[in-house]
Amino acid sequence: MTDALALADPEGAAVAIPGYLRPLTRLGGTAMTVAKAFALGAAGFGLALAVQGPLFFAAWTVLLVGWVLFRRRKLVALLRRFEDDTHLLLAGELERATADLDALCREARWVPTYHALFVFFRGVAELDAGNDRRALAILEAVRDSGWFGRRGFLGGYRGSLHGSIAVAHAMLDAPDEAAAELAHAHADLPSARRGTLILADVIVHARAARYRDALDRIEADFEHAERLLPARRIRLVRVLQAFCEAASGGGDYRIAASTTVSSEAVRDRLLRAALDRYAARWPALHAFLVTFPAA
């Protein structure tokens, strides 16, 4: 057995994923919980043999309360770091976010639900960095782990997970797979949050040269997206909108993406870096961006 996931590409290469980025399945998580319960029970039995009478109950209470408090404090610390990492991802600080997400994924394997969540965002970091095959391997492992079921604790992330997988497929020139995952994403996302998928919608459609479909999604969801997404993501959508309008020969859309707006947007250092990472695997976008010199 190997401590890695592997995803073969059409040329026969493979992407190896370390074990700490492989979430346990739901069954594996149940087995871990049972093992912890047995370990705690064994500790209680040993304590009962060593301590008799009322002193046992006092010692057992101290042991249980101490274990619960220790576990809770450790989990709260992990979640605080995770929150910081999500902000780093949104700000485009990929190197810092990736390093700490790696550490979180190593440290959080004792709590499988949160480990799966941290690995999901680690996959998003790979996707944002332009490592599409590695991102797809991680994200599909997260999806297949079963923790992101519709009724589960992480069900609220299900639409975003499928959307991320769709983007990875799109950037790997697999439009059918991308469309299927995007359909799952929309099916799993409440209508009040549909704007959160606007970037995935645009990338999946535009990457397949369905520029009008991409523009239609922007027309339908842009106002929702403005309320839900950070400003840099919105500017990224606007630049991609200008690209789609240029590629489709223009069009009269309610939210005009003018050349001036695009020119100003691509001068943002972090936004231009994100665009360049997409353009490195997207020739048509690259040809569009060269008309806007970076600052």
Q: What is the pLDDT of residue 172?
A: 95
Residue 50 lies in a domain: yes
Give the range of the structural domain holding residue 129, as residue numbers without chain letter: 19-147
The structural domain count of the chain equals 1
Helix, strand, coil proportions of the chain in percent (round to 5)? Answer: 75, 5, 25
Q: What is the pLDDT of residue 292?
A: 74
Alpha carbons within 13 angstroms on the beta-carbon side of residue 45 total 6
Residue 34 lies in a domain: yes
Q: What is the pLDDT of residue 1?
A: 35
> Which helix (H) or strand (E) is 260 found in, with range?
helix 259-265
Provide the angle, in degrees to the nearest 10, between the axes of the packed helices 175-188 and 198-207.
160
Residue 115 lies in a domain: yes
Low-confidence ranges of the chain (pLDDT < 70): 1-14, 26-64, 67, 250-266, 293-295
Q: What is the pLDDT of residue 67?
A: 62
How many angstroms separate the CA atoms of 279 and 270, rounded? 14
Tokens 């997206």: give the residue. Answer: 225
Q: What is the pLDDT of residue 92?
A: 83
Dihedral angle computed from the Cα positions of residues 268, 270, 275 and 278, in that order, rounded to the nearest 10 degrees: 180
Residue 189 lies in a domain: no
Residue 236 lies in a domain: no
Q: What residues does 228 pair with on adjacent strands?
A: none
Residue 258 lies in a domain: no
How many angstroms separate the CA atoms of 25 and 103, rounded? 20
- Candidates 290, 287, 293; CA nearest to 247 is 287
Residue 208 lies in a domain: no
Counting beta carbons within 10 angstroms of the beta carbon of residue 254, is it exposed (0 to 12), middle (13 to 18) or buried (19 or more)?
exposed
Contact 192, 225 (CB under 8 A): no
Residue 159 lies in a domain: no
